[in-house]
Amino acid sequence: MDHLLKVGVVEKIMNNYMKTKILIICTGNTCRSQMAEGFLRFFDSELEVFSAGTKAEKVVNPYAVKVMAEKGIDISKQKPKSLDIFIDKYFDYVITVCDGAKEICPVFTGDVKHKLHIGFDDPADAKGTDEEKLIVYRKVRDLIENSFKEFLMKL
């Protein structure tokens, strides 16, 4: 019994010192998930934040980079990553940010405490001039910012 008590105390202490690990998933990992990763890292440097795509593209969307820079957050060095590299890892939260990723999000073989969906429209679907597209990107960026602020307040 004394041994179990010690193990429980050690586990509680370790949990208090471990950083919260968050994985944000989208289809291409070029825009919404990258912006969400950028915001979470900006809001709280103590978080371990990653993003990935179910079908990761090659580069982060330049419009996403531009609208995040307007908020003082540099995501230009972030790279799209495949979800496969995270599939067996531990996460406190796995969050999908697009419906496509939510539907095909695989079963994780790692330990995942909480799975959430916080969905946003895809700004890459925006049509028109560069300025018209940027308006859509800014709208989605602001929704992501507000939604992830709310998420953090509930942690």
Q: Which residues are designated catalytic?
A: 26, 98, 105
Residues sharing a CB contact under 8 Å with residue 111, sequence separation 6 or more, in sequence order: 90, 91
Specify whether the CB–CB gap between 20 and 47 falls below 8 A. Answer: yes
- Give dist(CA 58, CA 28) in Å, integer: 9
